[in-house]
Amino acid sequence: MAYLDWDERMGIGHEVIDAQHRQLVVLINDLAEAAERGAERRELGQLIRAFCDYSSEHFSTEQGLMDSRDYPEYFQQVDGHEECSTQALDFYREYINGRDVSLRDFLVFVATWFQEHTMRVDQTLRKYLKKKAASAPATP
Ligand SMILES: [Fe+2]
Ligand SMILES: [Fe+2]
């Protein structure tokens, strides 16, 4: 059983963004699976790093999209993304420095953050993009 199940409500109806959201679910599950089977600290560190790198790539893609569509709630999104990035990077740093930090707590944080963010904050973007597409002049 996956640690975090994909839910269609985690998508926003945009091909690139939705593929990235799906990939973030995969990365969270990879980390949970490795933790469950008792993988070595080195492998777990690489998986935490993979989540940090890919989420930051996703945030910049999403922010680029919002910027190009004049999304009014851009800064609320940036705040949310920064909260996740800061926590994930802080955890990664502590983890690779051998500190006694809880991977279980980290997984709960990222899975909860991801669900709440995609199913609530990103959904406002979905509605906005849909409205914008409907009011866009037809291309000749
Ligand atoms: Fe997103
Ligand atoms: Fe977002």
Mean pLDDT, range 109-137, rounded to an integer: 95
For the chain, give percent helix, strand, coil, nearest 5: 80, 0, 20
pLDDT in tens, 37-47: 999 999 999 99
CA of 59 to the centre of ligand 2 (A): 6
Residues, Cβ < 5 Å to ion ligand 1: 62, 122
CA of 109 to the centre of ligand 2 (A): 16
Per-residue pLDDT, 62: 98
User: In this structure, which topology does domain 14-130 adopt according to CATH?
Assistant: Four Helix Bundle (Hemerythrin (Met), subunit A) (1.20.120)
Per-residue pLDDT, 115: 98
The pTM of this model reads 0.94
CA of 131 to the centre of ligand 1 (A): 18
pLDDT in tens, 60-94: 999 999 999 999 999 999 999 999 999 999 999 99
State how far the Cα of 55 lies from the Cα of 36, in Å rounded to an integer.
22
Q: Is residue 109 over pLDDT 80?
A: yes
Per-residue pLDDT, 136: 80
